[in-house]
Amino acid sequence: MKFFVDTADVNEIKELADTGLLDGVTTNPSLVAKSGHSSFLDLIKEICDIVDGPVSAEVAATDYDTMMKEAEKLAKIADNVAVKLPLTPDGLKVCKKLSDQGIMTNVTLCFSSAQAILAAKAGATFISPFVGRLDDISHDGLQLIEDIVDIYDQYPAFTTEVLVASVRNPLHVIEAAKMGAHVATIPPKVIHQFYNHPLTDSGLAAFVEDWKKTGQSIL
């Protein structure tokens, strides 16, 4: 499973990129606004310079003509830009056009298997089902992931990767990985939670204490 980080905070991205475990980045208008960056285009360029993998940059328009113009401008920023598009008729129309041109796309705000099928038929590089937001309304978000993976597996012509979005905790990622999801985009806070386990902490403390008792030094 590939790990993308879901943030527009450049410092957080740099820190995670240094681990060598980061495969890409997703942003959205809310994250960009939170970053406080004065230039969206410059921000995306800066992120693309840090990360070799796909960097999702979302269009702001909702009509086909304006979305297409914005998408073309975003795609010119860097080769690793994945143009993020809403799962609407116009959004999928833009997706098809960009896909035919070899431009990466990320179709977002997916909440049903039917929508996921449409995105795959439009040639989307990634489909972003929102797990946490479905959980919030008492629907099973992970069931949607399982359903989409199962459907895509039936059709080798579908090349769209399932990108698990709206991740709230490590369990969302683990369960999605067991289902065969290709990518998870994860908030930095949740990524850091992956490292944590009380037995790791207590085990390391015991090793450190025992090493002190030997009176030795490796250096």
How far is the C-alpha of 26 from the C-alpha of 114, rounded, in Å? 23
Please count the helices (runs of H) and the strands (runs of E) in the chain: 11, 8
Whether the CB-CB separation of 85 and 67 falls below 8 Å is answered with yes
84 is known as an active-site residue: yes
Structure-token pair, residue 169: 């905790």
The secondary structure of 10-75 as a DSSP string is: HHHHHHHHTTT---EEE--HHHHHHHT-S-HHHHHHHHHHH-SS-EEEE----SHHHHHHHHHHHH
Active-site residue (options: 2, 14, 84, 97):
84
Separation between Cα atoms, residue 82 and residue 78, nearest integer Å: 9
Catalytic positions, written as ranges: 84
